[in-house]
């Protein structure tokens, strides 16, 4: 899925919001990428689910993980924290 809406029907092409439901994978930051990087996936889910998972970890462990959004966009802890703090973050307990 794309964060950018289509302009086919005369839209302005600006994002309507963050794509919280896009597919994503959870990785350990120090796995180094490489040939078998995709086989080291720890968990799969939506971007929102994985952000919430990381934020539920003990604070000293959170920086060890990154969320890899489909489309090759990776969020490390500082970005995960910023996304979690957004007013439009879809919390599971809401």
Question: DSSP letters along 30-68, please?
Answer: GG--STTGGGG--EEEEHHHHHHHHHHS-GGGGGGEEEE
> Residue 55's pLDDT is what?
97
The 10s digit of each residue's pLDDT in 33-71 is 555 555 578 999 999 999 999 999 999 999 999 999 987
**What is the Cα–Cα distance from 19 to 23, expressed in whole angstroms?**
9
- Is-contact 7 13, C-beta < 8 A? yes
The model carries a pTM of: 0.74
């Amino acid at each position: 899925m794309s964060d950018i809406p289509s302009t086919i029907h005369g839209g302005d092409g600006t994002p309507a919001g963050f794509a919280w439901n896009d597919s994503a994978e959870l990785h350990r930051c120090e796995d180094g990428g490489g040939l078998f990087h995709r086989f080291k996936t720890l968990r799969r889910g939506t971007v929102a689910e994985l952000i919430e998972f990381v934020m539920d970890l003990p604070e000293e462990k959170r920086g060890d993980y990154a969320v890899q959004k489909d489309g090759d966009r990776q969020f490390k802890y500082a970005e995960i924290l910023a996304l979690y703090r957004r007013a439009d973050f879809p919390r599971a307990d809401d």
